[in-house]
């Protein structure tokens, strides 16, 4: 396991300041550096693909596991559907953007000129994505313990306020379908891309497609959970996804 260096309280702002906010000093600083690189910045620098999106993908899974564990510890007798709705609420774009703002994550983002001009540092979608990317970087650098330290500090109060039978939920499949139909686009389809694991502990990978185009992928212990994850990931990108889909739809 990577050794953890102590965080110096008097370190200046910048990524060192972000490490202080995260209470973790990175052994592999390049992981944190990549976590704050938006794809628009990488494209302008001529390094497409060298951005935060792979870490974001990993961080989404880490966050889902961490919040699921916290919910299980508190509500181990609750119905699975209730836990899933509570988790969806906790890891919504609005919730993650709020957590990112609390750590002043927007200040550290590396954006392209277009996103900078369009106030990308203030967008919930970019902040939520960056938060997940940072969690992915934390996981790779310090293991699940490092990531869980941040997740617990950011979500323990919200979970403490939840009550059995009263957790707020967000049906991202319904919200996504309504948004696409309002834009004149076809309803999304969900296709099983892969199954793994033993029969009693299956893991499903679901591809969400619109007009035959793969838009996002969700992974979960059931098809329903995986579909909701895929819908949530697509819903976060509606601001750029809908124009792209409209442009590719035949007149």
DSSP-assigned states of every residue in 56-84: HHHHHHHHHHHHHHHHHHH-TTS-HHHHH
Contact criterion met (CB below 8 Å) for 108 and 84 = no
pTM of the model: 0.66
Task: Pick the catalytic residue from 51, 53, 56, 60.
Answer: 60
Measure the CA–CA gap between 97 and 248, rounded to whole angstroms.
30
Indicate the SS3 state at residue 140. Answer: helix
> Is 171-251 a domain of CATH 3.30.160.20?
yes
In degrees, to the nearest 5, what angle opens at C-alpha 236 toward C-alphas 113 and 145? Answer: 95
Residues of the chain predicted below pLDDT 50? 1-13, 167-169
Q: What is the pLDDT of residue 170?
A: 55
Sketch the domain layout of the chain as residue ranges: 11-168, 171-251
Q: Domain 11-168 belongs to what topology? A: Ribonuclease iii, N-terminal Endonuclease Domain; Chain A (1.10.1520)
Task: Pick the catalytic residue from 19, 124, 129, 132.
Answer: 132
Q: What is the pLDDT of residue 136?
A: 97
Is 132 among the catalytic positions? Answer: yes
Q: Are domains 11-168 and 171-251 of this chain identical in fold?
A: no
Measure the CA–CA gap between 175 and 172, rounded to whole angstroms.
5
Is 60 among the catalytic positions? Answer: yes
Measure the CA–CA gap between 154 and 168, rounded to whole angstroms.
18
E strands, the chain, in order: 189-196, 203-210, 213-220
């Amino acid at each position: 396991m990577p050794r953890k260096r102590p965080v110096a309280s008097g370190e200046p702002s910048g990524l060192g300041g972000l490490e202080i906010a995260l209470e973790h000093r990175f052994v592999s600083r390049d992981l944190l550096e990549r976590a704050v690189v938006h794809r628009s910045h990488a494209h302008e620098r001529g390094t497409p693909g060298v951005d935060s999106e792979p870490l974001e993908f990993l961080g989404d899974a880490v966050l889902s596991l961490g919040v699921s564990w916290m919910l299980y510890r508190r509500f181990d007798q609750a119905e699975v559907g209730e836990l899933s709705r509570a988790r969806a609420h906790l890891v919504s774009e609005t919730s993650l953007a709020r957590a990112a703002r609390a750590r002043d994550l927007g200040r550290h983002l590396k954006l392209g000129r277009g996103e900078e001009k369009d106030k990308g540092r203030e967008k919930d979608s970019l902040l939520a994505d960056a938060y997940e990317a940072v969690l992915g970087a934390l996981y790779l650098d310090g293991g699940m313990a490092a990531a869980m330290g941040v997740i617990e500090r950011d979500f323990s109060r919200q979970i403490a306020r939840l009550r059995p039978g009263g957790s707020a939920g967000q049906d991202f499949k319904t919200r996504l379908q309504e948004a696409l139909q309002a834009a004149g686009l076809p309803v999304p389809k969900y296709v099983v891309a892969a199954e793994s694991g033993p029969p009693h502990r299956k893991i499903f990978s679901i591809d969400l497609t619109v007009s035959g185009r793969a838009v996002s992928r969700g992974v979960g212990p059931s098809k329903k959970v995986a579909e909701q994850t895929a819908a949530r990931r697509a819903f976060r990108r509606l601001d750029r996804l809908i124009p792209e889909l409209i442009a590719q739809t035949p007149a």
